[in-house]
């Protein structure tokens, strides 16, 4: 975005792009596709399929690993840094130029090829946050095969389920991962998963880390380092734009994970567009998504997006706190001159809890231009804290595993709009966002309802559920005819700003009134003593449900529980009214979260409903579950039997 362009001109440019993408999507996305180096450029831009869904760039041919690496070398950028690896948990730092990364990827593609991997085959990748994880992903893509990355450290059962569904030709893993100071042995988990799974991959390739050398089972197990010594580089395999690039599993309501399928061509176009227009990144910029390759953020904005855009991407094996302290993020930003930082709000809440004043004096953050947050609701309290302490634009944006790239954001590569705390700003060009009633009626501004995206979805979004087209339709397309059901609730205000209030099952019914727990959380989080909070609905014999708030205090804060509860009740009553029936607050030492930082609200609801205590494999801190259950039970907030 040109800073010299007036705000009025910027906003006009946004409106032009938005309307063009809305009214003539073929023309708009054909223009965006021209920015990429295809083997065969698309002539067919958008087609409606017999299933009622759509596909993009049906006749185009490409290789996304070529776009991400080889193309930049051909343009003379081979010596530019492509990947920075920083691991405070192992005291390791590495940098790869585009030339070096391309060589590693081509050689590992040769290793995979030698093991029989070819176009269309699946490869499961079960690795920690090390460069070899990105190398494996890009190598699979180089061969036209399909990768399925499973978050490192997932249980053997979860891994087995994914192996049985994806049916990979082989599995790529590492000997261990590291959580702060704890070594997690991956190989025993992988071995057990293969005992549990019906499908048996031909081979497993294991990257041996010096922190823990894994015992091997020849001939099935192959040593990564040894295989690379004898590898011959493999060329890029051309694929159709509509061919699958990867399968990424997301939790399903039936207990069986849903394998979200992403295509090659639409994804490349969407990522390139978003890097320029959402994140305002140019060739050579340093982009750091502080996430994990096991999540969609890692796929889109650690590996593929920054590299397609010609940026330098940062891979970080560590935490926002404890590795070694709450200054970890600022150290990385200063050391590598990060221009754009992207992390989940929970990371900033953790920093805020440990270091409320944000001790930044020793860090030079002059290169840092923007901070993006996504993955969960960004509560206004965390937004205000980050803006106040960092003196940088903080941008809330919203998207999903299924969409692969942002649905709504402040599109700073086009225009920088005013920030409205609690809102992820405006829909990105390409997305037609509507708020619908449960009968499918379009609601007026400020009316809360279901957030739905009018079809066709833009390029880059999921194309199906792996091997289950019916589940794809039932999960996303059947609720509202002609719409994708996001599963989230919220509203659009009179200025077109989108407010995402949480999953639709986070709406509670209090005496016939539908109320958003997310809205209550925003209010509670504004209390100066509170670092983090969670509001859930619990059973009430008279009103059906009533809200319960669980709160964490900032370090060093001391306040009487009774006084705190009275103050929070007054705040919620002031903002929402007595109708919220907000009366109960408990202070807890921690909240159960997934490894990506999302609070396990469904688990907490299950505990209060008296459901059997079950610790999911996705949890970051298993000990938090019995601890929180004991607190709720002591307070008399657990029902004697499930309702």
- Output the pLDDT for position 90: 97
- How does 172-192 read in b/e, with b if 16+ C-beta sit within 10 Å? bbbbbbbbeeeeeebbebbbe
Q: What is the DSSP string of 505-532?
A: GGEEEETTEEEEHHHHHHHHHTSTTEEE
Helix (H) or strand (E) holding 193: helix 186-196
Cα torsion angle, 269, 273, 278, 281, sign: positive
What are the angstrom distances between the C-alpha of 614 and each of 146, 396, 641? 33, 33, 15
Correct CATH for 7-318+397-426 of 3.90.170.10, 3.90.25.10, 3.40.50.12780, 3.40.50.12500 = 3.40.50.12780
Which parts of the chain have pLDDT scores under 70?
Answer: 1-6, 251-255, 505-507, 509, 511-514, 541-543, 577, 596, 617-618, 640-643
Residue 259: predicted pLDDT:
96
Predicted local confidence at residue 72, as pLDDT: 98
Q: What is the pLDDT of residue 642?
A: 39
306 to each of 196, 268, 344, how far by Cα in Å? 37, 11, 18
- Chain position carrying tokens 């796929």: 299
pLDDT for 514:
57
d(CA 30, CA 33): 5
What is the Cα gyration radius of the chain?
24
Question: Can you give the residue ranges of every domain in the chain?
Answer: 7-318+397-426, 506-634
What pLDDT shows up at residue 53? Answer: 84
Q: Give the pLDDT score at 601.
A: 85
Report helix, strand or coil for 146.
strand
CA–CA distance, 379 with 6 (Å, rounded to integer): 30
Of 636, 526, 610, whose CA–CA distance to 572 is shortest?
526
* pLDDT given for residue 509 in this prediction: 66
pLDDT tens-digit map of 398-452: 999 999 999 999 999 999 999 999 999 999 999 999 999 989 999 999 999 999 9
Per-residue model confidence (pLDDT) at position 511: 59
Tokens read off for 123: 């490869």
Q: Does domain 506-634 have CATH number 3.40.1790.10?
A: no
């Amino acid at each position: 975005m040109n800073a010299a362009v007036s705000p009025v001109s910027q906003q006009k440019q946004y409106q032009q792009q938005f309307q063009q993408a809305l009214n003539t999507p073929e023309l708009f996305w054909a223009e965006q596709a021209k920015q990429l180096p295809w083997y065969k450029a698309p002539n067919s831009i958008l087609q409606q399929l017999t299933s009622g869904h759509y596909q993009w760039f049906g006749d185009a041919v490409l290789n996304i690993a070529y776009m991400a690496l080889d193309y930049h070398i051909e343009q003379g950028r081979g010596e530019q840094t492509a990947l920075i690896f920083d691991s405070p948990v192992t005291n390791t730092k590495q940098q790869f130029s585009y030339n070096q990364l391309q060589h590693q990827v081509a050689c590992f593609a040769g290793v995979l090829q030698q093991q029989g991997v070819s176009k269309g085959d699946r490869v499961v990748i079960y690795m920690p946050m090390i460069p070899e994880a990105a190398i494996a992903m890009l190598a699979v893509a180089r061969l036209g095969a399909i990768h399925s990355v499973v978050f490192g450290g997932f249980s053997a059962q979860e891994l087995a389920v994914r192996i049985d569904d994806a049916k990979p030709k082989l599995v790529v893993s590492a000997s261990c991962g590291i959580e702060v100071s704890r070594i997690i042995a991956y190989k025993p988990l992988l071995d057990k998963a293969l005992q549990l799974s019906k499908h048996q991959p031909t081979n497993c390739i294991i990257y041996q880390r010096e922190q823990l050398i894994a015992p091997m089972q020849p001939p099935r197990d192959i040593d990564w380092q040894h295989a690379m010594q004898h590898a011959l580089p493999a060329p890029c395999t051309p694929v159709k734009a509509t061919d699958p690039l990867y399968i990424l599993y997301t939790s399903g309501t039936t207990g069986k994970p849903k394998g979200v399928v992403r295509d090659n061509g639409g994804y490349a176009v969407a990522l390139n567009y978003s890097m320029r227009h959402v994140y305002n990144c140019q060739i050579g910029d340093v982009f750091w998504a502080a996430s994990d390759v096991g999540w969609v953020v890692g796929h889109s904005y650690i590996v593929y997006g920054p590299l397609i855009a010609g940026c330098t991407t940062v891979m970080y094996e560590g935490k926002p706190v404890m590795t070694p302290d709450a200054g970890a993020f600022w150290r990385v930003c200063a050391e590598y001159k990060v221009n754009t930082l992207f992390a989940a709000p929970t990371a900033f809440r953790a920093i805020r809890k440990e270091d409320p004043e944000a001790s930044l004096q020793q860090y030079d953050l002059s290169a840092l231009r923007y901070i993006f947050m996504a993955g969960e609701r960004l509560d206004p309290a965390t937004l205000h804290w980050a803006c106040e302490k960092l003196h940088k634009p903080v941008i809330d944006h919203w998207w999903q595993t299924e969409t692969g790239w942002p649905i709504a954001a402040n599109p700073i590569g086009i225009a920088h709009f005013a920030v409205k705390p609690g809102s992820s700003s405006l829909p990105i060009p390409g997305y037609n966002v509507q708020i619908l009633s449960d009968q499918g009626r379009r609601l007026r501004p400020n009316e809360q309802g279901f957030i739905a995206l009018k079809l066709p979805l833009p390029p880059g979004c999921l194309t199906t559920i792996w091997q289950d087209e019916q589940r794809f339709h039932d999960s996303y397309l059947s609720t509202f005819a002609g719409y994708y059901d996001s599963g989230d609730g919220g509203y659009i205000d009179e200025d077109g700003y989108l407010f995402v209030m949480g999953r639709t099952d986070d709406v509670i019914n209090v005496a016939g009134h539908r109320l958003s727990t997310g809205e209550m959380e925003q209010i509670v989080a504004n209390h100066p003593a509170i670092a983090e909070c969670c509001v859930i609905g619990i059973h009430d014999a008279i009103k059906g449900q009533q809200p319960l708030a669980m709160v964490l205090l900032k370090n060093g804060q001391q306040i009487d529980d009774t006084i705190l509860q009275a103050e929070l009740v007054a705040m919620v009553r002031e903002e929402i009214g007595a109708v919220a029936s907000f009366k109960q607050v408990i202070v807890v030492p921690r909240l159960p979260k997934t490894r990506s930082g999302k609070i396990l609200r469904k688990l907490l609801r299950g505990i209060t409903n008296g459901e059997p205590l079950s610790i999911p494999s996705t949890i970051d801190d298993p000990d938090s579950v019995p601890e929180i259950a004991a607190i709720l039970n002591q307070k008399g907030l657990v029902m004697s039997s499930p309702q």
